[in-house]
A = this chain, B = another copy of it.
Amino acid sequence: MKQQTFAFTRSENLKQKPDASTLQFGKVFTDHMFTMDYTAETGWHDPQIVPYAPLELDPAAMCFHYGQTVFEGLKAYVTKEGKVLLFRPDKNFERLNRSNDRLCIPRLDEEVALEALRQLISVEKDWIPTAEGTSLYIRPFIISTEPFLGVAASISYKFIIILSPVGAYYKEGINPVSIAVENDYVRAVKGGTGDAKTGGNYAASLKAQEVAAASGFSQVLWLDGVEKKYIEEVGSMNVFFKIDGEIVTPQLNGSILQGVTRDSVLQLLKHWGYPVTERRVSIAEVVQAQKEGKLEEAFGTGTAAVISPVGKLFYEGETYEINNGVTGEVAKRVYDTIVGIQKGELEDTFGWTIEVN
């Protein structure tokens, strides 16, 4: 760990902290942010913690035109004893660098990024909410900033970390959501950017989400872009199914995002001795299992909601109710365990949490 202390400009107008009971997701930001710049000549430089303030960018800045942006999302929690914990932040910075590689953005030093996050969090410690279901959401991101119109990689970038005290991501909380299988729109395809966390993937997903919402579904179940047969993700989460005792999740294939929660769930399930398989899962298999009464559970996994059980699945004109529309045993167990570890209430046998001093 690098022992660098970053330049720090304290904000002169500290904001009122929001009431934890009314917290939404991603609408309120803390007093400070971390920023660092990149230029081709100097590399990454000028790391600093500064007051949260608007960015000033040339209208020709490439991020407005050519989508060369990447981001991450993770959370900080405060324990009953007042310790501040981060959940697997190293995984997020590893993934940020994989996204960078795909998007032709220069890599970050992962240790510097983690140290930046620690220092920012320790400045903003009092912003971490403590009520049930709340946490401090952390958004590291990189944008291309060169003022240039032409399709090429930018020669300058900004890396920024902002923080937001949050409540539940889905208004349903850990309650089951209803999802619709998407047959027309595609989120990502092999050879594209699906395994990178970049804006374009999310922009591409909005239309299907809008169509699903208009029919009363809260999320979309994405199929692969080539054969439109195999399940990829649900909304912006990875997805698990329990079929006849076996737990399956789509194997990483280049168009699925490699979720940190997915990895944690896989480790937990294996540790507990469940039969778990990463493999191709077709929508036909899932529907068939449901018809035969063998689809025991379905749930999404992601940082924002941690676990989001699927209560209803709409496919080809039929709505199927999974596990009678209630949260399954496995979903509940992984949720309780991960949240317990995140909040320091359960023993962290996997070494997933990092304390911020």
Contacts and interface: CB of A to CB of B under 8 A. Distances in A.
Contacts of A60: 26, 29, 139, 162, 164
Interface residues of A, number: 70
Contacts of A1: none
Nearest to A203: B67
A124 to B, nearest CB: 14
Interface centre among A27, A56, A151 (most CB of B within 10 A): A151
A96 interface: no
Contact of A225 (B63, B150, B160, B226): B226
A282 interface: no
Nearest to A61: B55
A192 interface: yes
Interface in A262-317: 304
* Number of identical monomers bound together in the oligomeric complex: 2
Contacts of A199: 63-69, 199-200, 203
A105 to B, nearest CB: 9
A54 B56 contact: yes
Interface stretch (A77-85, A128-136, A141-149): A141-149
A11 to B, nearest CB: 14
A137 B162 contact: no
Contacts of A150: 25-26, 169, 304
Contacts of A210: 104, 153
B68 A151 contact: no
A61 B68 CA distance: 15
Interface in A86-118: 102-104
Contact of A226 (B29, B152, B204, B226): B226
A191 interface: yes
Interface stretch (A181-189, A244-252, A330-338, A341-349): A181-189
A65 B185 contact: no
Q: Which 10 A-B pairs have the closest CB atoms?
A: A200-B200, A67-B199, A26-B149, A186-B191, A67-B203, A66-B202, A189-B189, A54-B56, A104-B206, A67-B200
